[in-house]
Chain A
Amino acid sequence: MRAFTYERAADAQAAVKAAAETPNAKFIAGGTNLLDLMKLEIEHPAHLIDVARLPLAAIEETPEGGLRIGAMATNSHVAADARVRARYPVLTQAIVAGGSGQLRNKATTGGNLLQRTRCAYFYDTTKPCNKRAPGSGCGALEGLNRNSAIFGASHACIATHPSDMAVALVALDATVETLSPSGAARSFPLMELHRLPGETPDIETHLVPGELITAVVLPPAPEGGQMYRKVRDRASYAAGLASVAVAGGRIALGAVAHKPWRAADAEAALASGASADEAIGRELEGAGENGRNGFKINLVRRLVPAALAEAREQGRGA
């Protein structure tokens, strides 16, 4: 870790202003990801703007019948919220499938969305990695890449996005609200937050530098069952090998791409009457394997129909 300066932002406007004016500044919320990355010499911000205590932690009803979740609401807080549990169980399930209790107590909604990949080569600074050191190459491409992407990967990067929460939010068709460095608010579908790696895997989202996430907005809960299933090497506290969120007619996949992956082809096939097996088969036509991760294709093929069936069961029960 290197020396850095630190400030606690008084309000959201002050936070984006500081970010715009200070070179090489970063927001820090729970710090559960950023501090690790700094200690391991993967990120070297010169200045930290602490946003954790901004008054953006509330969970409120929206006029449309949805919920607005403040960006600083902790993962534990969101997962335990009675309204979230009753109306958006897939979100609670996804959050509690992530990390450990201690991490979720610190982790925030905004920080969770922007957490960085768990690719082992990204974490080891002695290895090439286009995401950490653009142009150095991709260590994972011909390496031990069992947990890499099957959708949307590029020859520059095959990493996956590790968030569980974001997968559920994509299936729920959530919207992100932000404050840009100029101080202007904007909102856009969460599905459009993350990018595919392309040639620039170091640029991970469509946020502009210094843009602050202020909230995530959930539309009214969809009809039908919801469910989150995460497959992992151990029962808890492990990155997913693949995960699936089902909410109404929407399906999102986790740990399979550089972003939470909306299975739009599968959804379309289902809507036109295809079976679950056919639908996921359609989605997987676009999948490709990289070295050792081919099992994920098989895994997703089995996982999604099972999750759809379970969600349907629950929808009926409700």
Chain B
Amino acid sequence: MSSVIDWESTSNPVKENRAGNIGKAVDRYEGPLKVTGTAPYAYEVEPPSPPAYGVMVSAPIARGRITAVDTAAAEAAPGVMLVWTYMNAPAQGPRPERYDFFTPSPRPALESDRVYYFGQQVAVVVADTLENAQAAATLVKLSYQDDAAKAVTFHDHFDEGVQPPGESDVEIGDFEKAFAAAPVTVDDVWRTPLQNHCQMEPCATTAWWDGDQLTVHTSVQMVRFAQNSLAETLMLPHKSVRLLTRYVGGGFGGKGSFYEDLVLASLAARELGRPVKVAFTRQQMMHGTVHRPATDVRVRLGATPDGRLTAMSLMTTTHCDRRGNFTEHASNFARSLYAAPNRLTGHRLVRLDLPVASAMRAPGEASGTLSLEVAMDELAEKLGIDPVELRILNEPESDPETGKPFSIRQLVRCMREGAQLFGWDRRLPTPGQVRDGRWLVGMGMAAAIRGNFLLPAKASFTVDADGVITVKQGMTDIGTGTYTVLAQIAAETLGVPLGDVRVEIGDSELPPAPGSGGQFGAATAGSAALDAGMNLRKAIAEIAVNDPASPLSGGDAAQVTFQDGVIAIANRSERLSELIRRNRPDGLTADGEVRPAADASKWSSHTYGAHYVEVGVDTITGEVRTRRMLGVFAAGRILNWKTARSQLTGGMIWGVASALTEGNAVDPRYGSLINQDLASYLVPVQADIGELDAIMLDEVDDKANPMGIKGVGELGISGAGAAVANAIYNACGVRVRDYPITPDKLLAALTAI
């Protein structure tokens, strides 16, 4: 069993970083393939024989039953090979009553006549060409009985919120009493809308069979989960399914699970004895996969006149689908952020006839910081204290709820350095003071926090007779840089040039890793890789000292060094490739793994940051444009300056999106979403983002894992939108608590000024 104490006290090549591979701004390993269009994504993978093409048909009602099925015209259409609905789809494993996103279980497609949400897949047409399949799909005639409640928006059912299963509110002290007694208070509700992941690559699968053995190329974040679940859906042993996901065009949590493309392509390929490709359309992605649910977060803060929080509460109401369990935990992060003796946090969940809710871009923090970090700004104003100083005043010594020591916490340093670099002292506390032509200009800030996690993972390293190291791991790279950081870890651990490392990931035949999500990817996959690298070093060293033909013969294996592709003991050395060629011409492999430390729970471990934003608000139109953004982050040792910075700035841009443009509205009459493509679901474009920078503090969190690194993928978004909202207030004196802050909402208030 591993232990934090061992991690802290043991050195390793990543910590020593002798060759300097760690932290360097290394270009993406797979970058050239992607920018030249030669990295095959799942739908583009060429199968061993010509494929057929499946097109799915989606339900137009929010809840009900299919009452009649007429597929005659579709079946008779040119090129059509099969048409399936629930009436004739093959038998599949039964769906569990309630399912979560981490336990593998069957996900049958076209399972019954029941419709649970608008856009659920209800039929598939497979034809010889995509065009024929698309044309025939329009001929599938299904009749429905529409049982949807007529109002399916979250706010219509707000009062029906119940405690999420297995949870309870967390109260420390006596919140109500302290809040009632507090001389200065804030009490407001912030609303965030339902959001879609909008990955560039829609979900897609290419599947083929070889006897009883299935191969699927698909686009998912979690290899093992999808492989096991697919096998269970098809009622096959796990090992009968090989699942590959080499390149993933964005996940954002939405590909943590998998969807009907995977199941239907697999089933149809078996039925037809021929490879089958199935993809979601952009429109189908919006309803047919998952989304981030809307939240209402009520924040209550009570403080003394000198700015000490005495009471703090975040209560979130959110929604999920009828069969689901997912809760957007928008209150949780607040449990570790600020000191306050009396605290109350919790969630209420409403089940609706809406598509399936799930994790998206920093679930919890992304929504929750949009409320608390604005409430802190409001409190600062009421108190007449600078927002940075207010946060520093309430900086806890140890975790404010559990009392556990922090593994490391540099939030104050992030805020202070950010303030200085950004020129925060130039901010005028009274809103509406700075004009630039028709623009009012303002500055805002917010704190960022996001949990740090480590999950069990395995990896293997092979060295071949050319001295090339191959990293193998059932891990994914969803555009984050996994390939690259694994290569860096391998190069540093085995002392070989980066160019002598190959990385193979995204394959269920490789040693399992949990995948990408919850910003645990690099720490988890990387720690297992480091272990495999260390084991390979040991194996190499043993061979060297026991090989009479090696200059290292007879030496102490523990003294062998690895550098520039050369192994050495003091001045006795030879090339790694020569040793392997003599002793293991077919290569030498070592396995490694990481497990969470038994004592890890003794510490409170998070990543932190501070956002500073300057915006302009057009006084005529209510348009908001960000002018400058700076994030300063503390997230452990940084493996790759470039990919980490891209993750952080990308997150900050998503924060701008959540504040200003992003969101989907539900039409309650249909239980469907209004924006169904990327022309109407607005994420920021280049012109929306002015100056943007992210700075990473020097930090090592030796308690986090053997490398002292932490995740950055979800930290950047946390708090970024709140800083934008605070800057808008500072610019023009208007608070909009119903996100996104669009011109129509601002205009009403601007007119009144």
Q: Which residues of A contact B (CB under 8 A)?
A: 1-3, 40-41, 118, 120, 123-124, 126-127, 139, 142-144, 146, 231-239, 241, 295, 298-299, 302-303, 306
Contact = CB atoms under 8 A, between A and B. Distances in A.
A144 B742 CA distance: 15
A1 B621 contact: no
A1 B676 contact: no
A236 B661 contact: no
B744 A235 contact: no
Given A120-B675, A235-B625, A306-B438, 4 more contacts: A1-B134, A3-B78, A237-B679, A299-B744
A120 B680 contact: yes
A234 B661 contact: yes
Contact of A302 (B138, B621, B682): B621
Given A120-B675, A241-B744, A234 B669 contact: no
A299 B743 contact: yes
Contacts of A295: 743-744, 747-748
Given A123-B676, A143-B667, A233 B620 contact: no
Contacts of B665: 144
A2 B55 CA distance: 13
Contacts of A235: 625, 685, 687-688
B189 interface: no
5 contacts: A1-B134, A118-B680, A123-B676, A146-B744, A234-B660
Q: What bracket does the count of chain B residues touching chain A fall in?
A: 35 or more
A303 B621 contact: yes
B672 interface: yes
Interface string B669-713: 110101111011010111110000000000000000000000000
Most chain B CB neighbours (cut-off 10 Å) among A1, A235, A302: A235
Closest A-B pairs by Cβ, 7 of them: A126-B60, A235-B687, A295-B744, A236-B687, A231-B621, A144-B674, A235-B688
B509 interface: no
Nearest to A307: B620
Interface in B399-446: 438
B743 A233 contact: yes
Nearest to A39: B134
A234 B688 contact: yes
Contacts of A306: 438, 620
B676 A124 contact: yes
Contacts of B679: 118, 237, 239
Contacts of A3: 78, 131, 135
B681 to A, nearest CB: 11
A252 B131 CA distance: 42
Contacts of B670: 126-127
Nearest to A295: B744
A117 B304 CA distance: 55
B667 A41 contact: no
Contact of A236 (B138, B669, B688, B751): B688
A40 B284 CA distance: 12
Nearest to B664: A144
B620 A236 contact: no
Contacts of B674: 120, 143-144
A235 B283 CA distance: 24
A235 B620 CA distance: 15
Contact of A144 (B622, B667, B684, B744): B667
B623 A231 contact: yes
Interface string B306-331: 00000000000000000000000000
Contacts of A127: 670, 672
A5 to B, nearest CB: 14
B594 to A, nearest CB: 42
A126 B672 contact: yes
B747 A2 contact: no
Contacts of A120: 674-676, 680
A232 B622 CA distance: 10
Contact of B685 (A1, A123, A237, A303): A237
Contacts of A144: 665, 667, 674
Contacts of B138: 2, 41
Contacts of B682: 233-234, 238
A40 B677 CA distance: 11
B623 to A, nearest CB: 6
A124 B742 CA distance: 24
Contacts of B677: 123
A40 B438 CA distance: 41
Interface string B44-80: 0000000000000000100000000000000000100
Contact of B751 (A1, A143, A298): A298
A70 B680 CA distance: 31
A299 B747 contact: yes
A95 to B, nearest CB: 16
A126 B674 CA distance: 12
Interface in B449-480: none
A1 B748 CA distance: 43
A204 B670 CA distance: 27
Interface string B115-131: 00010000000000001
Contacts of A298: 747-748, 751
Contacts of B751: 298, 302
Contacts of B118: 126
A118 to B, nearest CB: 7
Interface string B280-317: 00010000000000000000000000000000000000
A171 B545 CA distance: 87
Contacts of A234: 660-661, 682, 684-685, 687-688
A238 B677 CA distance: 12
B635 to A, nearest CB: 29
Interface in B467-497: none
Contact of A1 (B131, B620, B686): B131
Interface in B99-153: 118, 131, 134-135, 138
B620 to A, nearest CB: 5
B125 to A, nearest CB: 13
Nearest to B139: A2
A303 B622 CA distance: 10
A239 B672 CA distance: 21
A239 B623 CA distance: 14
B617 to A, nearest CB: 13
Interface string B640-669: 000000000000000000001100010101
